[in-house]
Structure formats: C-alpha cells, structure tokens
Chains A and B, each alone.
Chain A
C-alpha cells in the first residue's frame, strides 16, 4: 500500500496536534519538583486507600494500643496513652515513607522514567518531587495522630510549640527514610518488593525500639540494640518535645541522623536513577 489519500484524522485535528509555535521556557528545578509532588499527591485522589493508610490507620493504632494494651502494660489507658502517643506518631509517619519508592519502581517498570528523562527539566525533579509528596502525606498522618491523641486526653505539656516541633521532627526524619526506600526501589526493580521491604523494615525497626516498651524492662542485649536504633532516638526526642521535657541533645542527634541518612541514600538514589 502506498500513501493513503484520505486521512482518518480530521484536518481540524491535525492542526491541533501542532502547538501555536510559542515554545515556553521549561519549568525550573523548583517548579518541576512541585509538578512531580502534585503528581504524587494526585494518587491519593485516585487510590483513596492511601489516605486511609495515612489517617485512619494511625487512629486505629492509637486507639487500640491505648485501650487494648494500655491496661495491661501500664495499669491504665491514660498513663499508657501518655507514653505511647509519641511512638505511634513515629510509626504512623514511617509507614507513609515507601510511597515515593513504590512510585519510582512502578515508573521504571514501564517506560515512564524514559519519558521524564527525555524532557528538558532537572533530572532530580521526579525524585525530589516524589519524596516531597511523601512529606505531605507524613504531615497528614502526624496531624491526625496528634489530633486524635488530644481528643483521647493526651496531656501536651510541651504546649503548641512542642506539638509543632514534634511533628516537624518526625516529618524531617520520614523525609530521610523515604530516600532509603527510593534507593531500594532502584535496586529491587519491583513495586511489591519495595512495599514488602519498606513495611518489614519499618515494623522491625519499630519493634526493636522504645516505641511500645520501656527498654529498661528488656534483657541487656536487646536493650543495647534498642538504644542504638535511630527510631528510639527519634521517639525519645519526640516524647521530650511533646511533654515539654525536651533536651537539645536528643533533637540534635535525630537531625544529624536524618542528615546522615539523606546524605547517604539521596546520592545512591540519584546514581541508580541516572544509570537506569
């Protein structure tokens, strides 16, 4: 067959295919990252389960820990709420960290990354945007936990400033952890593997920390492990901030750890991304 004489695309449409000839300047690094963050958050609209993960999940965690285990562990729900709320805050927020990694693994499985990399925008924008989208989710989860905790009767002796600082610290730490999972995503090559690794990792680290129990009650070897776990450091710092007994050293340690994690895993992600 040779050149078809009648085209199945209406002439008006063919004209629409080409643009008006005024090529705009491509988005800068910040605008491009913001566009990718928007993309990450759009998924909340299409997969509302993600919103459930970020809100209802933490509420259930908090209520069940307070009322189911509170009596057994600490004698009364009220006392245990006081102890466990900062821990649940940490756990709920950590559970929102794998989304950027999962999205990255999915993009790579299809040709989506190729499309982005052929565009005239900063190469890191999809990564930064994705992780920033996670940070919005983390903030949502943290706010939910704090709000529900206050309704249940949590005494925030640290005041509003303490609450805000606690939430901010958890979100900063979660931002760092997101980079671990994006690096994993590029190494593991599958969405479900990232999800599995992320969830297992978070649960393991949370249970080997002081989130739910006082380490002093643990066997010595375990106590050492718990003492070294950055999640324990984060929980301690958040407890201090929320109860107004915060020590600067605790907060600084967490910030240093978050910076170290980011400094290690953001470049790893970057390298994996460039090589893919």
Chain B
C-alpha cells in the first residue's frame, strides 16, 4: 500500500540508515521473509509490527548480519552487509528476542566483557558497566549472578548490553515483551533518548499500542511481507474513521441500543462478547455525534462511551483480513 510522503522522510532525504531490498529467507518449506523492502531514514524509530510468525525476528537477524538472506540486499548506513559485515557490526547494536546475557556471570561482568570486546580497557570498561547498571537500576544487583535475576532485570541488562557503545543503528526485537507497564515506559524513554542523540532504532513488536506510541513510521508485516507502511496516523486514516464504543448500564437494553445506533449511522453494529458492550463505525465525526445523541434521546442509559480514531488493532485487521485476533462477533 502506498501512503504518501512523510515530512520527516523528506527532511532526512540523504543516506538512509537502513535499506533492505527484496529480502527473502526460507526455512525448509516455510518462507519466513518473502521479498521485504524497507527504507529507514536516519534518526527515526521504525517499527515492524506483526503477529507471531510474521517474520519479524528473521528480518531483524538478516539486517543485523546474523542470518544470510537467500536473496536481496541490506545496506546499513550505506554499507552492504554482505560485502563488509565486520564494518556493519561496528555500527549496530542488537537486543534479540531471547535475552542474550550469560546466566553464569554477574550483571557487571556481562557488561565488562562486552566493554572489553568493544575496546574499552581496564577501568574504562568497568566504569562504563557501572554507569549503565545504574541507569538501568541494576546497581544494587551488579554483583549477583544473572541466574538469580528476574525476567525484567534480565531484559534490562540485555538492553544495557547493546548500549555499551552507543550504536548508530539499534535493533530491538520485542524489547518490552514480558515487562511490566513501568518497565515498558522505561524502555520507551531509553529509545527516545537514543533517537535524540541520533541513533536510528528499528524495533519489532506485536503490541499495536507500542508502535503507536513510539514509532515515527510503521511497517505492518504479515507472512513475511509488508502489507502496509506509513506513519501511525496514515495507517489509521487509511482504514477510515474510528468506532463509537459504548457500554450500556443494563444488558436488556443492548438490542434497543443497537437498533438506535444502526438507524442513526447507517453503519453495521458490532456486539462485543461483553454483554454490555457494542460499537459502530460511523461514516464521519458528525455521524458519530449523532449516534450518541440518538442513544441518550432514546433513553438508553450508558456507563461508558468513546469515539476514537481506529486503533492499530483495527488497522491490522483491515490490512490482513484476519479476525482471529479479535473476540468480537459481527452482528447482522
């Protein structure tokens, strides 16, 4: 889907941080990535959004030099991954989907090892490790074996490990999976801080909310292909207006409410699994306002209502045409 030009892209018009052309990766009979094209301008947070098995991890591994593509090219800051993997690895950082820290070492030792490998010597390595541990609130646990860390602590350490030397391009594969809400906000803050310093971040997620909150641009992946690409706003606009959602006070009044909504908007009314919930997708904002008025005029008591732009959930459904991700049944 073609979705117009983003001003941010035009402004950063020079060398993009990441370019992928026609990437393909097969595993036996599965085509994990099937002709992927990406262009990520510098300094951007770019999000690969897709369900389980969409090919996000495989794509990131190819971009980060870990897996050789079966076809296609990858340029990181203009350097071809195939020609000069070593130079690309000097530019990138990666936090994979599996926490890639060593359980049998302490948090500090994990970071010191990486600092030494990246060329920081002696005390400088230890200082950098300590700073990062403090920044990720692991200072008190620095000397403990990672084996004894909680999942969230391990995830934070893993993220710190990819920032020992600030990378030009950072790949994060589902960085917030398994984190609590505060942990998630922390990761978001880190991502924003990095982009302010000029790092380009490509992250994958299954959470539409995360892509919406963080990404400048989103590519929606399904079965190894990009099915849509654009800013969060463009993607939402491409699906049309958002739904009016209401919850009635009394389940017995729901059918009456549905009739009122259908009459007021001419749209299809959706009844939720929740016996109190229903929603409708009006043609525009005026119709949406009219729909709410119809309910109150009709004497239906509501406990909640909202008028939203479409959520990325709805975008995703509309783009992939698959509805197993939603619990809502469409009423006639």
Nearest B-chain residue to A35, judged by Cβ: B116
Residue pair B102, A9 in contact (C-beta under 8 Å): no
Among A14, A46, A111, the residue within 8 A (CB) of B98 is A111
Task: Tell me if A75 counts as interface (CB < 8 A to partner B).
Answer: no
Nearest A-chain residue to B192, judged by Cβ: A7
Q: Mark B119-162, 1 if CB is under 8 A from A, else 0.
A: 11000000010011011000000000100000000000000011
Task: Tell me if A73 counts as interface (CB < 8 A to partner B).
Answer: no
Q: Mark A28-68, 1 if CB is under 8 A from B, else 0.
A: 00011001101100110011000000000000000000000
Task: Tell me if A217 counts as interface (CB < 8 A to partner B).
Answer: no
Residue pair B104, A14 in contact (C-beta under 8 Å): no
Nearest B-chain residue to A43, judged by Cβ: B104
Contacts of A111 in B (CB 8 A): 96-100
Task: Take A2-B213, A106-B104 as given contacts and tell me if A118 and B117 are in contact as well, using a CB distance cutoff of 8 Å.
Answer: no
**Most A-side CB within 10 Å, residue of B86, B90, B117, B135:** B117
Which residues of chain A from 97 to 120 have any CB-CB distance to chain B below 8 Å in the complex?
A: 103, 106-107, 110-120
Contacts of A267 in B (CB 8 A): none
Report B202 CB to chain A, min CB distance, Å: 13
Residue pair B89, A110 in contact (C-beta under 8 Å): no
Task: Take A16-B131, A46-B145, A120-B86 as given contacts and tell me if A114 and B94 are in contact as well, using a CB distance cutoff of 8 Å.
Answer: yes
Contacts of A120 in B (CB 8 A): 86-87, 89-90, 118
Residue pair B186, A17 in contact (C-beta under 8 Å): no
Give complex CA distance A247, B72 in Å: 60
Give complex CA distance A116, B192 in Å: 26
- Interface size class, chain A: 35 or more
Give complex CA distance A24, B161 in Å: 16
Contacts of A159 in B (CB 8 A): none
Nearest B-chain residue to A9, judged by Cβ: B189
Among B98, B190, B212, the residue within 8 A (CB) of A9 is B190
Residue pair B100, A24 in contact (C-beta under 8 Å): no
Contacts of A9 in B (CB 8 A): 135, 186, 189-190, 193
Contacts of A46 in B (CB 8 A): 104-106, 145
Among B120, B166, B193, the residue within 8 A (CB) of A14 is B193
Give complex CA distance A17, B93 in Å: 13
Contacts of A23 in B (CB 8 A): 90, 165-166
Which residues of chain A from 106 to 155 have any CB-CB distance to chain B below 8 Å in the complex?
A: 106-107, 110-121, 125
Residue pair A118, B64 in contact (C-beta under 8 Å): yes
Give complex CA distance A108, B91 in Å: 24
Give complex CA distance A112, B106 in Å: 14
Residue pair B102, A17 in contact (C-beta under 8 Å): no
Contacts of B188 in A (CB 8 A): 4
Give complex CA distance A21, B98 in Å: 28
Task: Tell me if A18 counts as interface (CB < 8 A to partner B).
Answer: yes
Nearest A-chain residue to B161, judged by Cβ: A115
Task: Tell me if B114 counts as interface (CB < 8 A to partner A).
Answer: yes
Report B1 CB to chain A, min CB distance, Å: 24
Contacts of A14 in B (CB 8 A): 135, 189-190, 193
Give complex CA distance A110, B145 in Å: 16
Residue pair A47, B213 in contact (C-beta under 8 Å): no
Residue pair A27, B193 in contact (C-beta under 8 Å): no
Task: Tell me if B289 counts as interface (CB < 8 A to partner A).
Answer: no
Task: Tell me if B251 counts as interface (CB < 8 A to partner A).
Answer: no
Residue pair A107, B189 in contact (C-beta under 8 Å): no
Give complex CA distance A14, B194 in Å: 9
Residue pair B189, A32 in contact (C-beta under 8 Å): no
Task: Tell me if B206 counts as interface (CB < 8 A to partner A).
Answer: no
Residue pair A24, B118 in contact (C-beta under 8 Å): yes
Residue pair B100, A18 in contact (C-beta under 8 Å): no
Residue pair B94, A118 in contact (C-beta under 8 Å): yes
A interface residues, Cβ below 8 angstroms from B: 1-4, 7-9, 13-19, 21, 23-27, 31-32, 35-36, 38-39, 42-43, 46-47, 103, 106-107, 110-121, 125
- 5 sampled A-B residue pairs with Cβ under 8 A: A4-B185, A14-B193, A18-B193, A107-B102, A111-B97
- 19 additional A-B residue pairs with CB within 8 Å, beyond A17-B166, A19-B166, A26-B119: A4-B213, A9-B135, A9-B186, A14-B190, A17-B132, A17-B135, A18-B197, A23-B90, A24-B118, A24-B120, A35-B113, A106-B104, A110-B98, A110-B100, A111-B100, A114-B98, A115-B96, A118-B64, A118-B89
B interface residues, Cβ below 8 angstroms from A: 61, 64-66, 86-87, 89-90, 92-94, 96-106, 109, 113-114, 116-120, 128, 131-132, 134-135, 145, 161-166, 182, 185-186, 188-190, 192-194, 197, 199, 209, 212-213
